[in-house]
Amino acid sequence: MSSERGLELHLISRRDDARAWEHCRARLEAGRQVEVVLCHDAVLETETTVQAALGEKERQAVVVLACAEDAQQRKVAERWALIDYSGIIERCVVAVQVTSW
């Protein structure tokens, strides 16, 4: 897999970070493979807010996970598929690009 087409991982920490979501949407529209891990307060995002930020088509194309510890602390563990810290590190290793917002 070439670096141009590899996985782009976006670690989003702040809720309602329009700049991060706009960038993810643009990368998806450019045909990139995008995965998002919600951390800290961003785990409070909902399916509706993510869809609004990305658009219906792009929302279907992106994998959204939440940091398990952050989601559990904020009592929203059922909202997203969860990933632990070692899983986040593994995703960082696999990704050709990691952006932290």
Q: What is the pLDDT of residues 8-53, one digit of tens each?
A: 999 999 999 999 999 999 999 999 999 999 999 999 999 999 999 9
Helix, strand, coil proportions of the chain in percent (round to 5)?
A: 45, 25, 30
3-state secondary structure 10-54: EEECCCCCHHHHHHHHHHHHCCCEEEEEECHHHHHCCHHHHHHHH
Domain extent listing, the chain: 7-100
Task: Please report which confidence band the pLDDT of residue 1 belongs to, taking 50, 70 and 90 as the band edges.
Answer: very low
pTM for this predicted structure: 0.88
Give the CATH class of 7-100.
Answer: alpha beta
Whether the pLDDT of residue 56 is over 60: the answer is yes
